[in-house]
Amino acid sequence: MTGIKTSFLSFTMMSALALLAGSAQAAVGKSSGEARTKFNDTYIGQMQEMTASYEDTLVHIGREYGVGFVEMRAANPTLDPWIPGAGAHIVIPTMNILPDAPHEGVVINLAEMRLYYYKSPYDAPLTFPIGIGRDGLRTPMGATTIVRKKDGPTWTPTPRMRSEDPTLPVSVPPGPENPMGSHALYLGFPTIAIHGTNKPYGIGRRVSSGCIRMFPEDITQMFDMAPVGTKVTVVDQPIKSAWIGDSLYLEVHPTQEQATLMEREGAIPDYQLSEKDLAYIMRVAGPSVKTLDWQKIRKVVKERKGYPIKIADKTEEIKKAER
Protein backbone atom coordinates (compact mmCIF):
# COMPACT_ATOMS: atom_id res chain seq x y z
CA MET A 1 0.00 0.00 0.00
CA THR A 2 2.77 2.38 0.89
CA GLY A 3 4.49 1.83 -2.40
CA ILE A 4 1.20 2.40 -4.26
CA LYS A 5 0.45 5.56 -2.30
CA THR A 6 3.96 6.90 -2.89
CA SER A 7 3.66 6.21 -6.59
CA PHE A 8 0.29 7.95 -6.70
CA LEU A 9 1.63 10.99 -4.83
CA SER A 10 4.67 11.10 -7.09
CA PHE A 11 2.43 10.86 -10.14
CA THR A 12 0.19 13.63 -8.75
CA MET A 13 3.14 15.89 -8.03
CA MET A 14 4.65 15.18 -11.43
CA SER A 15 1.33 15.96 -13.12
CA ALA A 16 1.02 19.21 -11.23
CA LEU A 17 4.56 20.17 -12.14
CA ALA A 18 3.88 19.29 -15.78
CA LEU A 19 0.77 21.44 -15.77
CA LEU A 20 2.70 24.31 -14.24
CA ALA A 21 5.48 23.87 -16.77
CA GLY A 22 2.93 23.74 -19.59
CA SER A 23 1.30 26.93 -18.35
CA ALA A 24 4.67 28.60 -18.12
CA GLN A 25 5.57 27.50 -21.64
CA ALA A 26 2.22 28.71 -22.92
CA ALA A 27 2.81 32.07 -21.28
CA VAL A 28 6.27 32.26 -22.80
CA GLY A 29 4.88 31.23 -26.17
CA LYS A 30 2.19 33.88 -25.96
CA SER A 31 4.77 36.45 -24.96
CA SER A 32 7.05 35.33 -27.79
CA GLY A 33 4.16 35.52 -30.22
CA GLU A 34 3.48 39.09 -29.21
CA ALA A 35 7.15 39.93 -29.67
CA ARG A 36 7.56 38.27 -33.08
CA THR A 37 9.46 40.23 -35.68
CA LYS A 38 8.78 40.30 -39.37
CA PHE A 39 10.80 38.07 -41.68
CA ASN A 40 13.58 40.18 -43.18
CA ASP A 41 16.18 37.73 -44.46
CA THR A 42 17.48 38.30 -47.96
CA TYR A 43 17.39 34.64 -49.00
CA ILE A 44 15.76 31.28 -48.34
CA GLY A 45 16.95 27.67 -48.46
CA GLN A 46 20.36 26.03 -48.70
CA MET A 47 22.26 24.49 -51.60
CA GLN A 48 22.13 20.71 -51.91
CA GLU A 49 23.92 18.08 -53.94
CA MET A 50 23.63 14.38 -54.67
CA THR A 51 25.19 11.54 -56.61
CA ALA A 52 23.06 10.32 -59.50
CA SER A 53 22.08 6.70 -59.98
CA TYR A 54 21.75 5.11 -63.42
CA GLU A 55 18.02 5.81 -63.82
CA ASP A 56 18.08 9.44 -62.63
CA THR A 57 17.29 12.40 -64.89
CA LEU A 58 17.53 16.10 -64.09
CA VAL A 59 13.75 16.36 -64.64
CA HIS A 60 12.91 13.77 -61.98
CA ILE A 61 15.54 15.01 -59.53
CA GLY A 62 14.28 18.57 -59.98
CA ARG A 63 10.69 17.62 -59.28
CA GLU A 64 11.72 15.73 -56.14
CA TYR A 65 13.51 18.83 -54.80
CA GLY A 66 11.07 21.46 -56.14
CA VAL A 67 13.35 22.77 -58.89
CA GLY A 68 12.41 23.48 -62.50
CA PHE A 69 14.09 22.11 -65.63
CA VAL A 70 16.07 25.19 -66.73
CA GLU A 71 17.18 25.75 -63.13
CA MET A 72 18.58 22.21 -63.02
CA ARG A 73 20.11 22.56 -66.48
CA ALA A 74 21.79 25.87 -65.63
CA ALA A 75 23.24 24.53 -62.37
CA ASN A 76 24.60 21.42 -64.14
CA PRO A 77 25.54 22.64 -67.64
CA THR A 78 27.99 19.85 -68.46
CA LEU A 79 25.58 17.00 -67.77
CA ASP A 80 23.15 15.33 -70.14
CA PRO A 81 19.78 16.22 -68.56
CA TRP A 82 18.24 12.89 -69.57
CA ILE A 83 21.18 10.59 -68.82
CA PRO A 84 23.52 12.30 -66.33
CA GLY A 85 24.99 8.88 -65.61
CA ALA A 86 25.56 6.76 -62.54
CA GLY A 87 27.91 8.50 -60.13
CA ALA A 88 27.46 11.96 -61.64
CA HIS A 89 27.66 14.85 -59.18
CA ILE A 90 24.37 16.79 -59.25
CA VAL A 91 24.10 20.35 -57.92
CA ILE A 92 20.58 21.12 -56.66
CA PRO A 93 19.96 24.89 -56.58
CA THR A 94 17.62 25.09 -53.60
CA MET A 95 18.97 28.37 -52.25
CA ASN A 96 17.38 31.56 -53.57
CA ILE A 97 18.04 35.25 -53.08
CA LEU A 98 14.61 36.84 -52.79
CA PRO A 99 13.44 39.02 -55.69
CA ASP A 100 13.44 42.79 -55.28
CA ALA A 101 9.67 43.03 -54.79
CA PRO A 102 7.19 43.57 -51.93
CA HIS A 103 7.31 40.75 -49.38
CA GLU A 104 3.57 40.29 -49.67
CA GLY A 105 1.25 37.74 -51.25
CA VAL A 106 2.52 36.04 -54.41
CA VAL A 107 5.74 37.20 -56.10
CA ILE A 108 6.65 35.66 -59.46
CA ASN A 109 10.09 36.15 -61.00
CA LEU A 110 9.85 35.22 -64.67
CA ALA A 111 13.61 35.04 -65.23
CA GLU A 112 14.10 32.30 -62.65
CA MET A 113 10.70 30.75 -63.40
CA ARG A 114 9.85 30.65 -59.71
CA LEU A 115 6.94 31.67 -57.51
CA TYR A 116 7.27 32.90 -53.92
CA TYR A 117 4.33 32.98 -51.55
CA TYR A 118 4.51 35.18 -48.46
CA LYS A 119 1.84 33.48 -46.38
CA SER A 120 2.78 35.42 -43.25
CA PRO A 121 4.94 38.53 -42.70
CA TYR A 122 6.65 36.63 -39.87
CA ASP A 123 7.75 33.56 -41.84
CA ALA A 124 10.00 32.83 -44.79
CA PRO A 125 8.09 32.59 -48.07
CA LEU A 126 7.27 29.25 -49.63
CA THR A 127 8.66 28.81 -53.12
CA PHE A 128 7.72 26.69 -56.13
CA PRO A 129 9.05 26.24 -59.68
CA ILE A 130 6.73 27.33 -62.49
CA GLY A 131 6.29 27.20 -66.24
CA ILE A 132 5.71 30.52 -68.04
CA GLY A 133 4.73 32.00 -71.41
CA ARG A 134 6.78 31.20 -74.50
CA ASP A 135 8.12 33.62 -77.11
CA GLY A 136 5.34 35.78 -78.50
CA LEU A 137 3.03 34.86 -75.62
CA ARG A 138 4.89 36.20 -72.62
CA THR A 139 3.47 36.13 -69.13
CA PRO A 140 2.53 39.74 -68.31
CA MET A 141 4.39 41.71 -65.67
CA GLY A 142 3.03 44.07 -63.05
CA ALA A 143 0.70 43.96 -60.06
CA THR A 144 -2.66 42.20 -59.91
CA THR A 145 -4.67 39.96 -57.56
CA ILE A 146 -6.26 36.54 -57.44
CA VAL A 147 -9.82 37.35 -58.54
CA ARG A 148 -11.33 33.87 -58.29
CA LYS A 149 -10.46 30.23 -57.67
CA LYS A 150 -11.72 27.03 -59.24
CA ASP A 151 -11.37 23.44 -58.06
CA GLY A 152 -11.68 21.44 -61.28
CA PRO A 153 -11.38 24.18 -63.94
CA THR A 154 -12.67 23.85 -67.50
CA TRP A 155 -10.11 24.67 -70.17
CA THR A 156 -11.46 26.82 -72.99
CA PRO A 157 -8.93 27.42 -75.79
CA THR A 158 -8.81 31.01 -76.99
CA PRO A 159 -9.69 31.90 -80.60
CA ARG A 160 -5.96 32.32 -81.27
CA MET A 161 -5.23 28.82 -80.01
CA ARG A 162 -7.98 27.33 -82.18
CA SER A 163 -6.85 29.23 -85.25
CA GLU A 164 -3.32 27.83 -84.72
CA ASP A 165 -4.67 24.33 -84.10
CA PRO A 166 -8.19 23.74 -85.51
CA THR A 167 -8.24 20.26 -83.95
CA LEU A 168 -8.56 21.74 -80.46
CA PRO A 169 -11.94 21.18 -78.80
CA VAL A 170 -14.20 24.07 -77.82
CA SER A 171 -13.54 23.17 -74.19
CA VAL A 172 -12.09 20.42 -72.00
CA PRO A 173 -13.93 19.48 -68.79
CA PRO A 174 -12.16 18.72 -65.50
CA GLY A 175 -10.16 15.52 -65.58
CA PRO A 176 -6.77 14.01 -66.46
CA GLU A 177 -6.84 15.38 -70.03
CA ASN A 178 -7.30 18.97 -68.88
CA PRO A 179 -4.16 21.09 -69.55
CA MET A 180 -5.06 23.29 -66.56
CA GLY A 181 -4.71 20.42 -64.13
CA SER A 182 -6.84 20.09 -61.02
CA HIS A 183 -6.97 23.67 -59.72
CA ALA A 184 -6.77 27.25 -60.99
CA LEU A 185 -6.22 30.67 -59.46
CA TYR A 186 -7.48 33.26 -61.94
CA LEU A 187 -5.67 36.61 -61.99
CA GLY A 188 -6.75 40.14 -62.86
CA PHE A 189 -4.66 39.86 -66.04
CA PRO A 190 -7.01 38.88 -68.91
CA THR A 191 -6.94 35.13 -69.74
CA ILE A 192 -4.08 34.52 -67.26
CA ALA A 193 -4.20 32.05 -64.36
CA ILE A 194 -1.90 30.19 -62.02
CA HIS A 195 -2.90 26.58 -62.55
CA GLY A 196 -1.77 22.98 -62.53
CA THR A 197 -0.88 20.91 -65.56
CA ASN A 198 -1.25 17.45 -67.04
CA LYS A 199 2.28 17.77 -68.48
CA PRO A 200 4.63 18.24 -65.50
CA TYR A 201 7.73 18.20 -67.72
CA GLY A 202 6.79 21.76 -68.73
CA ILE A 203 7.59 23.15 -65.28
CA GLY A 204 10.71 25.29 -65.33
CA ARG A 205 10.32 25.94 -69.06
CA ARG A 206 8.77 28.59 -71.34
CA VAL A 207 5.98 26.53 -72.86
CA SER A 208 2.63 28.12 -71.93
CA SER A 209 0.45 30.66 -73.72
CA GLY A 210 1.09 33.13 -70.91
CA CYS A 211 -0.35 31.32 -67.89
CA ILE A 212 1.73 30.23 -64.90
CA ARG A 213 1.89 26.45 -64.57
CA MET A 214 2.72 24.53 -61.40
CA PHE A 215 3.40 20.91 -60.52
CA PRO A 216 0.17 19.06 -59.59
CA GLU A 217 1.34 18.67 -55.99
CA ASP A 218 2.21 22.38 -55.75
CA ILE A 219 -0.98 23.92 -57.16
CA THR A 220 -3.07 22.08 -54.57
CA GLN A 221 -1.02 23.74 -51.82
CA MET A 222 -1.37 27.18 -53.37
CA PHE A 223 -5.08 26.68 -53.92
CA ASP A 224 -5.61 25.90 -50.25
CA MET A 225 -3.33 28.67 -48.94
CA ALA A 226 -3.94 31.71 -51.14
CA PRO A 227 -7.38 33.35 -50.76
CA VAL A 228 -9.19 35.43 -53.35
CA GLY A 229 -7.86 38.98 -53.15
CA THR A 230 -4.24 37.90 -52.61
CA LYS A 231 -1.80 40.39 -54.13
CA VAL A 232 0.28 39.07 -57.06
CA THR A 233 3.44 40.83 -58.25
CA VAL A 234 5.16 39.63 -61.44
CA VAL A 235 8.73 40.79 -62.09
CA ASP A 236 11.55 39.82 -64.47
CA GLN A 237 14.87 39.89 -62.59
CA PRO A 238 17.65 37.70 -64.06
CA ILE A 239 20.22 39.20 -61.66
CA LYS A 240 19.74 39.24 -57.89
CA SER A 241 22.28 40.24 -55.27
CA ALA A 242 22.17 40.41 -51.48
CA TRP A 243 24.24 40.42 -48.33
CA ILE A 244 24.07 37.17 -46.40
CA GLY A 245 25.84 37.75 -43.12
CA ASP A 246 29.14 39.48 -43.91
CA SER A 247 29.31 38.17 -47.49
CA LEU A 248 27.82 39.56 -50.69
CA TYR A 249 26.26 37.00 -53.04
CA LEU A 250 25.26 37.22 -56.69
CA GLU A 251 22.63 34.98 -58.30
CA VAL A 252 22.29 35.16 -62.09
CA HIS A 253 19.70 33.35 -64.22
CA PRO A 254 19.35 33.12 -67.99
CA THR A 255 17.12 35.83 -69.40
CA GLN A 256 13.83 34.71 -70.91
CA GLU A 257 15.46 34.95 -74.34
CA GLN A 258 18.39 32.80 -73.20
CA ALA A 259 16.28 30.16 -71.42
CA THR A 260 15.48 28.17 -74.55
CA LEU A 261 19.14 27.97 -75.50
CA MET A 262 20.10 27.01 -71.95
CA GLU A 263 17.42 24.31 -71.97
CA ARG A 264 18.68 22.87 -75.24
CA GLU A 265 22.44 23.24 -74.94
CA GLY A 266 23.14 23.78 -71.24
CA ALA A 267 25.07 26.97 -71.95
CA ILE A 268 24.55 30.39 -73.46
CA PRO A 269 26.73 32.68 -75.60
CA ASP A 270 29.14 35.04 -73.89
CA TYR A 271 27.23 37.73 -72.04
CA GLN A 272 28.90 41.00 -71.14
CA LEU A 273 28.13 42.83 -67.90
CA SER A 274 25.79 45.70 -68.81
CA GLU A 275 25.86 49.19 -67.30
CA LYS A 276 22.54 48.41 -65.63
CA ASP A 277 23.93 45.21 -64.09
CA LEU A 278 27.04 47.07 -62.95
CA ALA A 279 25.06 49.85 -61.28
CA TYR A 280 22.77 47.36 -59.52
CA ILE A 281 25.64 45.29 -58.08
CA MET A 282 27.47 48.40 -56.90
CA ARG A 283 24.33 49.75 -55.24
CA VAL A 284 23.80 46.51 -53.29
CA ALA A 285 27.51 46.36 -52.36
CA GLY A 286 27.32 49.82 -50.80
CA PRO A 287 30.45 50.78 -48.81
CA SER A 288 32.06 47.43 -49.73
CA VAL A 289 32.12 48.20 -53.45
CA LYS A 290 35.93 48.41 -53.39
CA THR A 291 36.17 44.77 -52.27
CA LEU A 292 34.21 43.41 -55.25
CA ASP A 293 35.93 40.71 -57.27
CA TRP A 294 35.04 41.90 -60.79
CA GLN A 295 36.73 38.98 -62.51
CA LYS A 296 34.57 36.59 -60.52
CA ILE A 297 31.49 38.73 -61.09
CA ARG A 298 31.98 38.60 -64.87
CA LYS A 299 32.35 34.82 -64.66
CA VAL A 300 29.13 34.48 -62.62
CA VAL A 301 27.24 36.71 -65.06
CA LYS A 302 28.57 34.79 -68.06
CA GLU A 303 27.81 31.32 -66.69
CA ARG A 304 24.37 32.16 -65.21
CA LYS A 305 24.18 29.07 -63.02
CA GLY A 306 21.09 30.29 -61.21
CA TYR A 307 22.26 29.99 -57.60
CA PRO A 308 23.96 32.42 -55.16
CA ILE A 309 27.75 32.69 -55.44
CA LYS A 310 29.88 34.77 -53.07
CA ILE A 311 31.55 37.77 -54.70
CA ALA A 312 32.78 39.86 -51.75
CA ASP A 313 33.26 40.07 -47.98
CA LYS A 314 33.00 43.02 -45.65
CA THR A 315 36.31 44.39 -44.45
CA GLU A 316 37.06 44.55 -40.74
CA GLU A 317 36.84 48.36 -40.93
CA ILE A 318 33.30 48.19 -42.34
CA LYS A 319 32.26 45.58 -39.77
CA LYS A 320 33.51 47.83 -36.96
CA ALA A 321 31.73 50.87 -38.44
CA GLU A 322 28.45 48.94 -38.49
CA ARG A 323 28.69 47.86 -34.87
| The CA-based dihedral angle spanning residues 156, 162, 167, 171, taken in that order and rounded to the nearest 10 degrees | 10
Q: Which residue is catalytic, options 60, 183, 211, 253? A: 211
Length of the chain: 323
Q: Catalytic: which of 103, 183, 195, 253?
A: 195
Residues 6+ apart with CB under 8 A from 41: 98, 124
Annotated catalytic residue 195: yes
What is the distance between the alpha carbons of residues 118 and 68, in angstroms, rounded to a whole number? 20
Cα–Cα dist 227/277, whole Å: 36
Other Cβ atoms closer than 10 A to 313: 15
3-state secondary structure of 155: strand
**Contact between residue 127 and residue 145 where contact means Cβ atoms under 8 Å apart:** no
Per-residue b or e along 212-227, where b marks 16 or more CB atoms closer than 10 Å to that residue's CB: bbbbeebbbebbeebe
Residues designated catalytic: 195, 211
